């Protein structure tokens, strides 16, 4: 016999009665009356469709709905993809000092206030001295990302005139943003020279006219052209630009301020080298190899920086107080280059030794085997990527825990792997791995919180 609470004639309790109950009052105290009432209505409607429910179940359903409603959509994840500076996962993890600086900047701060003079100041002043000190540039400023920096530089210094660029540097970055389209949007007339794989100094020389405003060098951030190739050294481009009274703009992208070879990592041209090679203006990212928050830095000749600063785009592209504080704290770490690899998580993870990573992978495999008994779990060597287009063809030796469907189960292997990956993503702190070669891979290069990873494995719902 069906319970009255589940009968087709079920009549739900009044909303007011539920809200006045002890559990309802708790919900109101935590989430507010309006949100609690809305979720209770949804719970009642769901129960009506299902045939009925009791008060406790209705309040429990509403509590779950409220918790989901208030849960932040941006949450910490374990990045075990093998890409350290993963664009989709937030690129560079911030240093503790940067996080502390953001918290300190949460209230009233002297963002645009000169404390010494007691009057309005300039928000970039918190950054510019560090930029000039660390890079050797005459001046610098900051906008909200490097794409914005490119737009601001081109729109200010080349609008209505021509900018010369090699065809091999007409790149497309993530999200289908293409350099030619950015240049057109900036009001610049694009002048392509050379071929995709080979561009010579004479190509640039022949393209310079009285309509030329600048020569642009764009770093191919997410690909490499190999084989029969040729490009013009930056020093030669700088000399050519100077001889013809045009600007040489070096768009670096990755933003290295130190020589990464000291940690056994691949060579990446630094901002200081770009300036010493003669670039008039250089732009680079804050959240790639620099290891800070999303930002775009522009450094170079003081007269050019001053012009960019006066462009109305600068205000539209400016940074907020919290990001400025985090960026300043990140740049300060480079004042002590001997400890920067320890203080900056991005460099620390990139420089991590493979033996250390393998030890972590072994411990993780031991923790996982009892929970995924139907899967073949092993530790395998693999190659990590730097990520976000930084050094795109250079791989770093690493180690991963892999899970493979047993050979006896061939049917639906792909679906099983998809469900396993989804189960890891459903953990309280989602675990993001990758599927390749009929295996689910958890690259352990970026796994530093082993205790946190293991603590939540009891909630893993293995398919």
pLDDT in tens, 245-262: 999 999 998 889 999 999
Per-residue pLDDT band at 392 (split at 50, 70, 90) = low
Cα–Cα distance measured from residue 390 to residue 428, given in angstroms and rounded to the nearest whole number: 30
- Torsion sign (Cα): 103, 108, 111, 113: negative
Mean pLDDT, residues 147-175: 89
Block residue for tokens 């794409």:
147
pLDDT tens track for 194-252: 987 889 999 999 999 999 999 999 987 656 666 777 889 999 999 999 999 999 999 99
pLDDT tens track for 394-431: 689 999 999 998 766 667 788 999 999 999 999 999 99
Is residue 101 a part of any domain in this protein? yes
Nearest to 139 by CA among 21, 298, 22: 298
327 and 233 within one domain: yes
Phi-psi sector, 23: left (phi>0), alpha (psi -120 to 50), beta: alpha
What's the gap between Cα 259 and its chain centre?
22
Nearest to 443 by CA among 366, 381, 374, 353: 381
Is residue 438 a part of any domain in this protein? yes
Block residue for tokens 């352990």:
444
279 and 363 within one domain: no
59 and 102 within one domain: no
Per-residue pLDDT band at 316 (split at 50, 70, 90) = very high
82 and 65 within one domain: no
432 and 386 within one domain: yes
Is residue 91 a part of any domain in this protein? no
DSSP category for residue 194: S
- Looking at 343, 358, 377, the residue that finishes a domain is 343
pLDDT exceeds 60 at position 4: no
Give φ, ψ of 214 to 5 degrees: -160, 160
245 and 363 within one domain: no
Reported as half-sphere exposure (CB side, CA atoms, 13 A), residue 12 has a value of 22
Range of the domain at 17: 4-70
Is residue 40 a part of any domain in this protein? yes
- Looking at 291, 322, 343, the residue that finishes a domain is 343
| pLDDT > 70: percent of the chain | 93
271 and 404 within one domain: no
284 and 136 within one domain: yes
Instruction: Supply the CATH number for residue 158's domain.
Output: 3.40.640.10
Instruction: Supply the CATH number for residue 363's domain.
Output: 3.90.1150.110
Q: What pTM value is reported for the model?
A: 0.89
447 and 386 within one domain: yes
Q: How much is the pLDDT for 173?
A: 65
- Looking at 343, 365, 387, the residue that finishes a domain is 343
253 and 144 within one domain: yes
CA distances from 7 to 46, 54, 57, 271, 416 (A): 14, 12, 16, 73, 39
Is residue 261 a part of any domain in this protein? yes
Written as six digits, the tokens of 71 are 């849960």
Task: Look at the chain and report how many structural domains it folds into.
Answer: 3
pLDDT tens track for 351-364: 999 999 999 999 99
161 and 25 within one domain: no
Is residue 220 a part of any domain in this protein? yes
379 and 307 within one domain: no
């Amino acid at each position: 016999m069906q319970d009255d609470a589940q009968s087709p004639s079920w009549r739900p309790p009044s909303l007011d009665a539920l809200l006045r109950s002890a559990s309802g009052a708790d919900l109101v105290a935590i989430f507010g009356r309006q949100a609690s009432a809305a979720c209770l209505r949804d719970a009642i409607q769901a129960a009506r469709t299902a045939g009925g429910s009791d008060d406790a179940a209705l309040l429990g359903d509403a509590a779950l709905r409220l918790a989901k409603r208030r849960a932040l959509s941006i949450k910490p994840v374990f990045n075990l993809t093998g890409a350290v500076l993963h664009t989709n996962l937030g690129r560079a993890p911030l240093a503790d000092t940067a996080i502390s600086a953001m918290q300190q900047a949460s209230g009233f701060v002297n963002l645009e206030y000169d404390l010494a003079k007691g009057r309005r100041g300039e928000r970039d002043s918190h950054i510019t001295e560090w930029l000039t000190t660390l890079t050797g540039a005459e001046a610098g400023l900051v906008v909200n990302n490097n794409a914005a920096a490119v737009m601001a530089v081109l729109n200010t210094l080349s609008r209505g005139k021509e900018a010369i660029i090699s065809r091999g540097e007409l790149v497309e970055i993530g999200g289908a943003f293409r350099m030619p389209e950015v240049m057109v949007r900036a009001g610049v007339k694009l002048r392509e020279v050379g071929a995709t794989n080979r561009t010579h100094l004479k190509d640039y020389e022949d393209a310079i006219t009285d309509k030329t405003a600048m020569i642009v060098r764009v770093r191919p951030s997410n690909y490499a052209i190999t084989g029969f190739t040729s490009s013009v050294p930056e020093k030669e481009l700088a000399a050519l630009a100077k001889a013809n009274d045009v600007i040489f703009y070096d768009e670096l992208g990755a933003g290295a301020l130190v020589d990464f070879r000291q940690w056994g990592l691949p060579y990446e041209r630094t901002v200081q080298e770009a300036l010493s090679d003669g670039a008039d203006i250089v732009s680079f990212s804050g959240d790639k190899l620099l290891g800070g928050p999303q930002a775009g830095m522009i450094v170079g000749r003081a007269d050019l920086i001053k012009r960019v600063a006066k462009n109305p785009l600068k205000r539209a592209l400016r940074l907020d107080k919290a990001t400025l504080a985090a960026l300043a704290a990140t740049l300060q770490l480079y004042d002590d280059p001997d400890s920067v690899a320890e203080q900056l998580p991005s460099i620390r993870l990139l420089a991590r030794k493979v033996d250390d990573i393998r030890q972590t992978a072994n411990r993780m495999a031991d923790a996982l085997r009892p929970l995924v008994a139907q899967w073949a779990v092993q530790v395998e060597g693999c190659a990590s990527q730097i990520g976000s287009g930084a050094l795109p063809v250079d791989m770093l030796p690493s180690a991963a825990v892999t899970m493979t469907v047993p050979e006896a189960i061939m049917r639906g292997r792909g679906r099983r792997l998809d469900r396993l990956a989804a189960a890891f993503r459903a953990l309280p702190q989602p675990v993001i791995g990758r599927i390749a070669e009929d295996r689910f891979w958890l690259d352990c290069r970026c796994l530093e919180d082993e205790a946190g990873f293991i603590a939540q494995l009891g909630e893993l719902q293995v398919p």
